[in-house]
Amino acid sequence: MEAKTILENSISGSTISVNTMSENTFSGNIVDLFDNVIYSGTIEVRNGRIFSITRGGGHYDTTPYNATGTTIIPGLVDAHVHVESSMLVPSEFARLASIHGTVATVSDPHEIANVMGVDGVRYMIENGRSVPFKFYFGAPSCVPATPFETNGASLGPEEVEALLKLKEVKYLSEMMNFPGAIEGEPSVMAKIEAAQSRGKPIDGHAPGLRGANLAKYVSRGITTDHETVDYEEAVEKVKLGMKILIREGSAARNFDTLIPLLKVFPRMVMFCSDDLHPDELVARHIDGMVKKAFALGYDKMDVLRAASVNPVLHYGLDVGLLRPGDSADFVVVDSLDSFNVLKTVVMGEVIAEQGSTLIPHGKWAVVNGFYAALKSPEEFRFPAKKGRLKVILAGDGQLLTGIYHHCPAVTEGNLVSDILADVLKLTVVNRYADAPPAVAFIKGIGLKRGAIAASIAHDSHNILATGVSDEQICRAVNLCIANKGGIAIVDGSNEEVLPLPVAGLMSNDDGFVVAQKYAGMEKMARTLGSPLRAPLMTLSFMALLVIPELKLSDKGLFDCKSFSFTESYEIDYN
């Protein structure tokens, strides 16, 4: 059944009734990011758009650093986010993001597309339409991300072109296959040309790419990058015409490294979260980046443009920028100095006020795609051989991994977790079919007892699990399977589960409740002995084959540098 049909069967009508507060006028200091001034005035709203802006009090401040008191700014925009990584459906993401002054997102539905293809993308669009918040989506360019793992769908040029025709789809999502773009692979070029023929920009994804290959990549029409490693690389990309997205996600963060760009290339910078887990979304969003930049002394107008004007103009979003005739999308803060959000307004409707969202929770139908059968502990056995193990070396919240060499622990002819050495068994279980688990070992998670498992495993979202024994790993995996997706933790006979029934990625429960539950799950994982700040988040990247150095897919251990499978055993030690 197509996602749209499922949705129409799950709610009455095409939208959820929203009990927001409507006002006709808003007064205060008004920030004009085009003329670079702040003045006192009143905004009149009619039919969701700005009818007029009247300057009042005879005050016209041309020094935009001294504004005090209630101030109205354009609504904040997340220039690149995977909504699925919040573990919330878009309508719930909007409830949390709205309290931070966010009015719109540029969302890449890459995660659900890997699970459910076009139907998954349509689900996100339909759900996003149900709330007074502006979700704009991309057409995922790399589904599947690699041919070395099992996923649930494939988006070829025809599917991508069909998505690009939708009004909510504003761009071609991050082109992770930069070798294919550089070499001009026909399928890659067909997707790029489909976007260009409709005047829609193309997002990049090219960490560390420099020199001639970077120039060739940009020449294909790639316009942004959010994976830039260092400042020098960013400058090279900007000089070739790329916009740089500075991000502060739950895992990857490059704000401190890249924020100096704002002084030199203010029109070429945007802010994004990329991946933000629900507990952190409750605490901060783009407003956190704005506050951080203000505290560092960056020009307030440049900062606010990076958080609003730059993404709106780059992606051609119908998001207002405080001009007569614009959509009435803006934020009221107590002052630019403290930057506490008092009201968030979308199309003239107040959707959040004083830290509380006015968007009601709506229950949505579940779309899933989960077909794994329950496992037995015997399926996670790893017969011992003579040799030294190649072990994945993980870091806290890091996408990058290293390689650690270890003489394995053996029990009854099978390799087992070596708790004292912090070398634990790691598994990826195919969620799309009943298949044998892939097994390897990982160092850095640090569990002393129990096991953790999750169906959030970038990019194909099979089940990832690690633990101190085959029995504990199996229990955690089976909890994910029994719930058709989720996060599971077992500790002896105790167990906790956060069900994620929407594609095995998202909950359709109240977002604030999910955030609290997730924070508790991370805390429980740490009580098992992990020294990591976010062990569950770190685990979720251990199947991400496009980020070096060593990862595990459902088909086996993978060397991300040579882009090929590799043996777990390396050297005989007899």
Asked whether residue 521 is domain-assigned, the answer is yes
Average pLDDT for 538-559: 93
Grade residue 68 by pLDDT with cuts at 50, 70 and 90.
low
Q: Are 461 and 348 part of one and the same domain?
A: no
Which residue is listed with tokens 């079919």?
A: 433
- Rg (C-alpha) for the chain, rounded Å, is 24
Grade residue 64 by pLDDT with cuts at 50, 70 and 90.
very low
Report whether 106 contacts 136 (CB < 8 A).
yes
Q: Are 152 and 195 part of one and the same domain?
A: yes
Of the residues 328, 357, 386, which one is the last residue of a structural domain? 357
Report whether 406 contacts 553 (CB < 8 A).
no
Cα 363–chain centre separation: 22
Q: How many helices (H) and strands (E) does the chain have?
A: 17, 30
Q: Which domain holds residue 206?
A: 3-357
Mean pLDDT of all residues belonging to the chain = 91
The pLDDT score that the predictor gives to residue 572 is 54
Domain holding 134: CATH number? 3.20.20.140
Average pLDDT for 433-451: 96
Q: What is the spatial distance between Cα 78 and Cα 97, in angstroms, rounded to a whole number?
A: 10
Find the helix or strand (DSSP H, E) in which 409 lies. strand 409-411
Q: Are 301 and 384 part of one and the same domain?
A: no
Q: Are 330 and 462 part of one and the same domain?
A: no
Nearest residue to 64 (alpha-carbon basis) of 75, 73, 55, 52: 73
Report whether 425 contacts 473 (CB < 8 A).
yes
The pLDDT score that the predictor gives to residue 348 is 96
Q: Are 302 and 429 part of one and the same domain?
A: no
Asked whether residue 366 is domain-assigned, the answer is no
The pLDDT score that the predictor gives to residue 553 is 97
Asked whether residue 570 is domain-assigned, the answer is no
DSSP structural state of residue 334: S
Phi/psi for 158 (5° steps) reads: -65, -45
Q: What is the sign of the dihedral through the CA atoms of 531, 533, 536 and 540?
A: negative
Average pLDDT for 203-210: 92
Q: Are 349 and 404 part of one and the same domain?
A: no
Task: State yes or no: pLDDT of 207 exceeds 80.
Answer: yes
The pLDDT score that the predictor gives to residue 515 is 97
Q: Are 430 and 494 part of one and the same domain?
A: yes
Task: State yes or no: pLDDT of 23 exceeds 80.
Answer: no
Asked whether residue 370 is domain-assigned, the answer is no
Q: What are the tokens at 106?
A: 């540029």
Report whether 205 contacts 222 (CB < 8 A).
no
Of the residues 310, 327, 357, which one is the last residue of a structural domain? 357
- Read off the pLDDT of residues 84-130 as tens digits, 9 standing for 90 and up: 999 999 999 999 999 999 999 999 999 999 999 999 999 999 999 99
Asked whether residue 371 is domain-assigned, the answer is no
Q: Are 420 and 448 part of one and the same domain?
A: yes
Q: What is the spatial distance between Cα 565 and Cα 574, in angstroms, rounded to a whole number?
A: 25
Grade residue 547 by pLDDT with cuts at 50, 70 and 90.
confident
Asked whether residue 369 is domain-assigned, the answer is no
Q: Are 221 and 296 part of one and the same domain?
A: yes
Of the residues 302, 322, 357, which one is the last residue of a structural domain? 357
Q: What is the spatial distance between Cα 89 and Cα 395, in angstroms, rounded to a whole number?
A: 29
Q: Which neighbouring-strand residues pair with 569?
A: 389
Average pLDDT for 498-524: 96
Q: Are 422 and 512 part of one and the same domain?
A: yes
Grade residue 422 by pLDDT with cuts at 50, 70 and 90.
very high
Q: What is the spatial distance between Cα 391 and Cα 407, in angstroms, rounded to a whole number?
A: 10
Identity of the residue numbered 382: F
The pLDDT score that the predictor gives to residue 1 is 29
Please count the structural domains in the chain. 2
Q: Are 393 and 270 part of one and the same domain?
A: no
Q: What is the spatial distance between Cα 158 and Cα 136, in angstroms, rounded to a whole number?
A: 20
- Read off the pLDDT of residues 266-305 as tens digits, 9 standing for 90 and up: 999 999 999 899 999 999 999 999 999 999 999 999 999 9
- Read off the pLDDT of residues 323-375 as tens digits, 9 standing for 90 and up: 999 999 999 999 999 999 999 999 999 999 999 999 999 888 888 889 999 99
Of the spans 7-16, 393-402, 443-452, which averages the highest pLDDT? Answer: 443-452
Please enumerate in sequence order all residues whose Cβ is within 8 A of that of 501, keeping only pairs 6 or more positions apart, or say none. 366, 368, 483, 484, 485, 486, 507, 508
> Percent of the chain at pLDDT above 90?
83
Asked whether residue 20 is domain-assigned, the answer is yes
Q: Are 295 and 418 part of one and the same domain?
A: no
The pLDDT score that the predictor gives to residue 325 is 96
Asked whether residue 364 is domain-assigned, the answer is no
Task: State yes or no: pLDDT of 7 exceeds 50.
Answer: no
List the single range of 149-153, 158-162, 204-208, 326-330 with lowest mean pLDDT: 204-208
Give 528-547 as a 3 state SS string: CCCCCCCHHHHHHCCCCCCC
Task: State yes or no: pLDDT of 398 exceeds 90.
Answer: no
pTM, whole model, 2 decimals? Answer: 0.91
